Amino acid sequence: MSKPYQPVHPPYQREDVEILSREDLYQGYFRAEKLTLRHRLYEGGWSETMGRELFVRGPAVVVGLYDPVHDTIGLIEQFRVGALDDPAGPWCLEVVAGMIETDETPEAVARRELLEEAGVEADSVEYIGHYYPSPGACNEVTHVVCAFADLSEAVGVHGLDEEHEDIKVHVLPAQVVFDNLYGGRLNNAAALIALQWLQLNRPRLRQNPPG
């Protein structure tokens, strides 16, 4: 018989990192810092002093959007400068997402972004978890939620003009999305993580639709 899973707890915490200096490198649409630091080592003692550039972005929320009654999934499509050189082009198929402002909860941000980016009002929101997209160089933490709504009339182009958003809504049968999950069109981690969770939980959600 296999033993129950025991989570591996990290041996060190934030106080085991000493920040010697911080330097602002860039402040624009994003921010970058240069940190000089040292940290404790697994075999004892401290590391040598080192420099690390940090991409400062802050917390975000990504939203899987599901209609359990009609068994459909809502996705959005928009231009992304980081995908300029992708063979399929820089218009990415994604889940709704947004940045968390001070004192906002992930659930509140999810509801706000659904209205702005998809024109959809969520009936309910279920929190899934969080992850760091690129902790080697960026401090962004991404919270993942699933929102439930009637998508039978979710259509059109949405987004905020002041943020230069031009976002198209797609509503697809859930099985079509899952059958093409790894075909390359869904080429970002946020979408894959949210949709993989939805794929695993779809039977439960269909049997007992959230209200």
* Position 7 pLDDT exceeds 80: no
Confidence (pTM): 0.90
Higher-pLDDT residue of 96, 29? 96
Distance CA 173, CA 7 (A): 36
Per the annotation, the verdict on 117 as an active-site residue is no
Contact 131, 49 (CB under 8 A): no
Buried b / exposed e across 97-134, counting CB within 10 Å, b at 16+? bbebeeeeebbebbbebbebbbbbebeebbebeeeeee
Residue 136 burial (10 A CB sphere; 0-12, 13-18, 19+): exposed
Query: How do residues 102-153 score in pLDDT, each as one tens digit?
Result: 889 999 999 999 999 999 999 999 999 999 999 999 999 999 999 999 999 9
Give Cβ neighbours of residue 190 (< 8 Å, ≥ 6 apart). Answer: 62, 94, 95, 97, 133, 142, 144
Higher-pLDDT residue of 131, 29? 131
pLDDT band at 9 (very low <50, low <70, confident <90, very high): confident
Segment among 71-75, 152-156, 190-194 with least mean pLDDT:
152-156
| Catalytic one of 18, 162, 163, 165 | 163
Distance CA 133, CA 121 (A): 27
pLDDT, mean of residues 46-70: 96
Higher-pLDDT residue of 173, 10? 173
pLDDT of residue 163: 85
* Position 2 pLDDT exceeds 70: no
Virtual torsion, Cα 39, 42, 48, 52, nearest 10 deg: -50
Q: How many CB atoms lie within 10 A of CB 147?
A: 27
Nearest by Cα to 210 from 62, 61, 60, 65: 65
Strands 142-148 and 60-67: parallel
Contact 134, 103 (CB under 8 A): no
Q: How many CB atoms lie within 10 A of CB 11?
A: 8
Q: How many CB atoms lie within 10 A of CB 155?
A: 13
Distance CA 187, CA 72 (A): 20
Query: How do residues 153-176 score in pLDDT, each as one tens digit?
Result: 999 999 998 989 999 999 999 999
* Position 197 pLDDT exceeds 70: yes
pLDDT band at 10 (very low <50, low <70, confident <90, very high): confident
Q: Would you identify the CATH topology of the domain 60-207? A: Nucleoside Triphosphate Pyrophosphohydrolase (3.90.79)
Cα distances from 23 to residues 32, 51, 180, in angstroms, run 9, 11, 44
Q: Where are the domains of the chain?
A: 15-56, 60-207
pLDDT of residue 210: 87
